[in-house]
Amino acid sequence: MPDTALALLRRLETGPRGLTDTEAAARLAALGENTPARIAGPSWPHRCARALRDPFTALLLTLGLVSACVASWRTASVILALVAVSCVLRVTGERRADRALAALRGLVTGTATVLRRTDERAEPRPREVPVADLVPGDVVRLGPGDLVPADVRLLRARGLTVREDALTGESAPVPKHAADLSEPGAEAQLCFQGCAVVAGSATAVVVETGPRTRFAAARQTPVRREPSAFDRSVHGISWVLVRFVLLTPPLVLMAAAALHGRGVATLPFAVAVAVGLTPEMLPVIVTTCLARAAALLARTHQVVVRRLPALHDLGAVDVLCVDKTGTLTQDRPVVAAALGPDGRSDPEVLRWAAVGAWWTLQLAELPAPDALDEALLSAAGPVGEEYDGVAALPFDPAHRVATAVVAGGGLGRHVLVTKGAVEDVLDRCALPEEEHRRLLGLAARQAEAGLRVLAVATAERPAAVRPYRAADARGLTFRGLVGFRDDLAPGAAEALRELTALGVTVHVLTGDHPATAARVCRDLGLEAGEVGTASVVLSCGAGGVRVVARCTPEDKARLVAGLRTAGHTVGFLGDGVNDVPALHAADVGIAPRDAVGVARESADVVLGRKDLTAIGHAVVAGRHSSANIASYLRVTLSSNLGNVLAMLAAGLLLPFLPMLPSQVLAQNLCFDAAQLAFAHDRPDRAVLQRPTRLRPPAFLRFITGFGLLNAVADLATFAVLALVPHGGAAMDDPVLFHSAWFTENLLTQALVMVLLRTGRRVAERRVAGRRRPGPVGWSAAVLATAGLLIPLSPLGSALRLTGLPGIHYALLAAVLGVYALALAVTRARHDRRRSGDGPSQP
The residues annotated as belonging to the active site are 323
Cβ(233)–Cβ(206) under 8 Å? no
Q: At what angle do helices 612-653 and 267-276 cross, to 10 degrees?
A: 160
Point out which residues pair with 111 in neighbouring strands: 130
List of residues 6+ apart from 798 with CB closer than 8 A: none
- Return the amino acid letter for 824: A
At residue 815, φ and ψ (nearest 5 deg) are -60, -45
Residue 105 is classified by DSSP as H
Question: ∠812-817-820 over CA atoms, to 5°?
Answer: 120
Q: Are strands 111-117 and 139-142 parallel, antiparallel or unpaired?
A: antiparallel
Question: ∠679-684-687 over CA atoms, to 5°?
Answer: 95
CA distances from 145 to 227, 454, 511, 542 (A): 28, 22, 17, 31
DSSP 448-474: HTT-EEEEEEEEEEEPPSSPP-GGG--
List of residues 6+ apart from 417 with CB closer than 8 A: 352, 353, 355, 356, 359, 403, 404, 405, 406, 456, 457, 458
Q: How far apart are CA 175 and CA 396, in angstroms?
A: 13
Which residues in 91-102 are b (16+ Cβ under 10 Å) and which e?
bebbeebbebbe
Question: ∠425-431-434 over CA atoms, to 5°?
Answer: 110
Cβ(260)–Cβ(281) under 8 Å? no
Point out which residues pair with 414 in neighbouring strands: 407, 461
Q: How far apart are CA 75 and CA 127, in angstroms?
A: 67
Name the residue among 625, 698, 674, 689 with its Cα closest to residue 776: 674
CA distances from 803 to 737, 792, 798, 807 (A): 11, 5, 13, 12
Q: How far apart are CA 229 and CA 238, in angstroms?
A: 14
CA distances from 454 to 337, 399, 403 (A): 10, 14, 13
At residue 338, φ and ψ (nearest 5 deg) are -130, 115
DSSP 377-438: HHHH-S-STTSEEEEEE---TTT-EEEEEEE-SSTTEEEEEEEE-HHHHHHTB---HHHHHH
- Return the amino acid letter for 425: V
Q: How far apart are CA 474 and CA 462, in angstroms?
A: 14
Q: Are strands 319-322 and 505-509 parallel, antiparallel or unpaired?
A: parallel
- The H or E element that residue 335 is part of is strand 334-339
Q: How far apart are CA 423 and CA 436, in angstroms?
A: 9
Point out which residues pair with 403 in neighbouring strands: 393, 418
At residue 527, φ and ψ (nearest 5 deg) are -70, 95
DSSP 525-572: T----SEEEHHHHHHHT-TT--EEES--HHHHHHHHHHHHHTT--EEE
Question: ∠752-754-756 over CA atoms, to 5°?
Answer: 55
**Strand extents, DSSP E, 69-150:** 111-117, 125-130, 139-142
- The H or E element that residue 196 is part of is strand 196-208
